[in-house]
Amino acid sequence: MNTPPSILSAIPRRLHLQKDHPIAITRQIIESRFPDFTTHNTLFPIVSVHQNFDSLGFPLDHPGRSRTDTYYLNKDTVLRTHTSAHQAETFAANQSSGYLISADVYRRDAIDRSHYPVFHQMEGAMTWDRTALSGYSTLAEKILADVEKIPRHGIKVEDLNPTIHPERNPLQSEFHSPEEVEAMATHLKRSLEDVVVAIFTTAAQASGSTAPQQPLKVRWVEAYFPFTSPSWELEVYWQDTWLEVLGCGIVQQPILNNAGVPHRIGWAFGLGLERIAMLLYNIPDIRLFWSTDARFLSQFKESSPPKQFIPFSKYPACFKDVSFWLPASSHPNPTNASGGLSQTPSSTPSFHENDVMEIAREVCGDLVEDVRLVDEFVHPKTGRKSLCYRTNYRSLERTLTNEETNGLHERFRQQLVAKLKVELR
């Protein structure tokens, strides 16, 4: 069990279902582009290790399984780290050709303006039945006919790489023909380009600018995901930079086979709703999504024309440092798949940066904006290692007093000693 009370208390919030919340509005915009898909928005976040990892083919030594990265309730049960934890059971239910899942997901992570231990994902999938060709001579022909039903757009799309590459983006040749994959890739890309047009048209409207808008540009980039092959990321040129919006690909056939639907093949995608909502409404800090301040929530109405978020007054930041020696037997390794708070109390914990972040969140809540490593030092004689972390305390709703931040920081320092067995400098 490594799930703190603050994380457990977030489970009932379900921001993606909260009326007039920007996460929920973003979800609805995307869902509107898939009118024939079945939607699943109320799946409970506590899942088995099998659902979260095994059913998707995660190797036993994958770092995502570590308690430094994942919230465990016991050795067999976790808070889902992705919506794909429900993929196998949704494929097995076989309720419709297409589905969308939106849900809260949980990961131990950094503290900054774009990362939060609870966030929201949406994934979608579309599959076709090999045994139901509806009069077409091949499945590829049927899929291409379905492409013609997708709304056309006029945006500039850059797609320079071949659909299939034997090393970078291989075909699942045991299960799929090149023609089938070309057809599915065309359907997938056209579907998601349509989503991007809807999102960024809304974002342009929300900006309220009367200046001429630059033509929307998107590009497809080869990628790797364990659940799909071939795979791609979709990037959008927005405010003078390329932004990754989502990942997608052709579903690994063993996932469908193991779900009891070996006669179906298809594609899947996944995206972060916070990432899209921050772009859509120009929201600068991910903590704002969890605010209960009426000044934030009253700016969003599902029935109103979209408009960008108007920030509150910028409250001052307060930076405080903490330096400490690591225990002699501890070796900092941010990719270490063991250790940290997952060790037994009697052992010397091995160090993982996510433990520092977790302690900061538990002590300071959303009053901490950012925690980052600013210095490290190895003593030339003893070989002991010292780290210095800088914490930025800033409320989104009021000015913090010196007394308040000093008290928070001192409790943070003492919890580092108590839980990580470090020696303060």
Q: Give residue-wise pLDDT tens across range 175-221.
A: 999 999 999 999 999 999 999 999 888 877 766 655 556 678 999 99
- Asked whether the predicted pLDDT for residue 303 surpasses 60, the reply is yes
Strands 77-79 and 228-238: unpaired
**3-class DSSP assignment, residue 374:** strand
pLDDT at 102: 97
What is the C-alpha to C-alpha distance for residues 311 and 381, in angstroms, rounded to an integer? 51
Cα–Cα distances in angstroms (integers) from residue 97 to residues 127, 133, 321, in the given order: 5, 13, 54
Residues 142 and 121: beta-carbon distance below 8 Å? no
Strands 118-129 and 264-272: antiparallel
pLDDT at 209: 58
Residue 127 burial by Cβ neighbours in a 10 Å radius (0-12, 13-18, 19+): buried
The structural domains of the chain, with segments of one domain joined by +, span 5-297, 318-424
| Structure tokens given for 320 | 């405080």
Give me the chain's average pLDDT, please: 89
Hey, which CATH number is domain 318-424, 3.10.50.40, 3.10.20.600, 3.40.50.1100, 3.30.70.380? Answer: 3.30.70.380
Average pLDDT on 217-242 reads 92
Residues 297 and 20: beta-carbon distance below 8 Å? yes
Adjacency order of strands within the sheet including 228-238: 38-40, 98-106, 118-129, 264-272, 241-251, 228-238, 217-225, 156-158
CATH superfamily assigned to domain 5-297: Bira Bifunctional Protein; Domain 2 (3.30.930.10)
What is the C-alpha to C-alpha distance for residues 129 and 116, in angstroms, rounded to an integer? 39
Average pLDDT on 56-75 reads 91
- Asked whether the predicted pLDDT for residue 366 surpasses 80, the reply is yes
Residues 356-369, buried b or exposed e (16+ Cβ, 10 A)?
bbbbbbbbbebbbb
| Fold match between domain 5-297 and domain 318-424 | no
pLDDT at 157: 94
**Nearest alpha-carbon partner for 269 in 192, 180, 200, 160:** 192
Strands 46-48 and 72-74: unpaired
- Asked whether the predicted pLDDT for residue 278 surpasses 70, the reply is yes
Residues 19 and 79: beta-carbon distance below 8 Å? no
